[in-house]
Structure formats: structure tokens, C-alpha cells
Amino acid sequence: MDMKGVLVAFILINLSILASCGAPRKAIDVPFWNNYEPSWSSHHIKYLNGGTTAELLLDKSSGTGFQSKRSYLFGHFSMKMKLVGGDSAGVVTAFYLSSTNAEHDEIDFEFLGNRTGQPYILQTNVFTGGKGDREQRIYLWFDPTKDFHSYSVLWNTFQIVIFVDDVPIRVFKNSKDIGVKFPFNQPMKIYSSLWNADDWATRGGLEKTDWSGAPFTASYTSFHIDGCEAVTPQEVQVCNTNGMKWWDQKAFQDLDGPQYRKLQWVRQKFTIYNYCTDRKRYPTLPLECTRDRDL
């Protein structure tokens, strides 16, 4: 290849990197059984269209849940969900990653139901080394009961980013250097569940579940997992080797400018609680809040 060809190739490669800066790879739609299995009350899960769609059912007798077949250390995990419609007060739909150790790590989506006509609340939380208490709550800018929307987590050694569709709604940076634990050595499984939590979910438990609307149904599709499988210490070490996977690359080590602007849009227009700004609860600003640029 002559110098002109080398220059053209260089430009094309860099344009490709810029175009994908910060945005995870496109999720691949796969059936439920490729990556998941029921974890409890399997009789409350219905499979449609050859398993490409799953419906979780909640009635007075039980909710239900499922989990990934394998554990992962870093990667991109997403699911398309359509939440319980109508009067969903007291009902919680969850999608989360969690390890099983005593000082566990966890990354949470929790969708808190509400009375008919009142918006869902999406609560996120990040646990590191067994410590959580990092709640953020937002309203969504669409009705999550009308159609499927994508909810995803990008997790690498630099940051955790939580997305709704292509909008980052939360970032949690690796702040180990300033004394904040970060999930880096405990593989996690992916879980989802639908259950009754009317003791706390809606207006602090004041609104109770109206069982006349049961069974409540949450629908799922596009069961995408692109992660580094890890169970043994040797596999954990392999997954911890920076630079080996696409999510380790520079483009995914921080949000880009447009993504930070989207995050600020969410903070300004839709955020109803952010632990980083709760001075009554945290008179001293938690160390990670400044690092996350999420005030």
C-alpha cells in the first residue's frame, strides 16, 4: 500500500472511532433461552414467538423472576422491556446485575409502579463492596407501558454507564484512587423480577396494590449479553486484562460531549432525587459525586 493509501486508511479508522465514541455496540436480539433461565416461580413466566418474548406475571399468590445462565465480569448487558400498564401501584419490575458474595456488588434498575395516570419512577442504585445508598430517581420522558424500550448497562474498569435507549441516565466512575470501592473482581449475574412491594414502592408504601387488576404483566424481548464470562479466579484475571475487549477501548472510558449533554438534560428535566444533592442525608458530598460529573 502506498502512502496515499495508508493515509486514507488512517483517516477512515479514526473516523470510525469518532463515530462510535462512547456508544456501546448495537445490541443483538436473541431468544430468552440463549442467555437466561427462570430463577423462581417459573409457572409465572410465559414464552411467546419461540421464546423471543417473555411475559412475567404477578398475582396474589406470587411474582416471578429469571437470571442469566452465566456470570460476567465487565461487558454490555441490555434488555427491551414493556412495563405493567394501568394501575401498577405497589408493583416493582427490576433488572439488575449482582454478585453473590457477602460484600456484594450490584447495579440496579427498579421501576416503581404508580396509580393510573401517574408516571412510573425509575430508581437506580450502585452497590460496591456491600455498600449501596446511592439512589437516583427519575421520571421517564415516555410512557414505558405502551411499547418496548431498551434498558442497558455498560460496565468496564473505568466506569459504569446506565442507559435508557441511547440516553445515559447515570454514570459511576472508577474512583478507587480516592477511596471509593468499584466493582472489578466479583463476577455478576443478570437478574430480572416482578413482585409486590406495596410496603415501600409507591409513596413510601401509602399506596397499596389493587389486586383487582391482577395478573400484572411485564414483557421482555431482546435478551442481549455481550460480556466476559467469569467463574474461576483464572477467568476473573483474564477479564481484568485491560485492552482485550471492545468495552476497554478509549472510546468507552468516559462519556463523550453529546452524552454528557444528554445526561444533563435528564438531570435538569426528569430527575426527582439524587443522593449526590441530598445534603440532609449527606452533609458531606460523597467522594464519587464530583468525579462522576453528575450533580
DSSP 124-160: EEEEBTTB----EEE--SS-TTTS-EEEEEEE-SSEE
- Residues in contact with 158: Cβ distance below 8 Å, sequence separation at least 6, in sequence order: 173, 174, 252, 253, 254
Q: Is 106 a catalytic residue?
A: yes
CA distance 269 to 169: 11
> Strands 216-229 and 189-196, how do they pair?
unpaired
At position 108, the amino acid (one-letter code) is D
CA distance 230 to 236: 5
Q: Which of 37, 55, 103, 106 is catalytic?
A: 106
Q: Is 110 a catalytic residue?
A: yes
Closest CA to 152 of 190, 114, 120, 186: 190
Q: Which of 55, 103, 110, 135 is catalytic?
A: 110
Residues marked active site are found at 106, 110
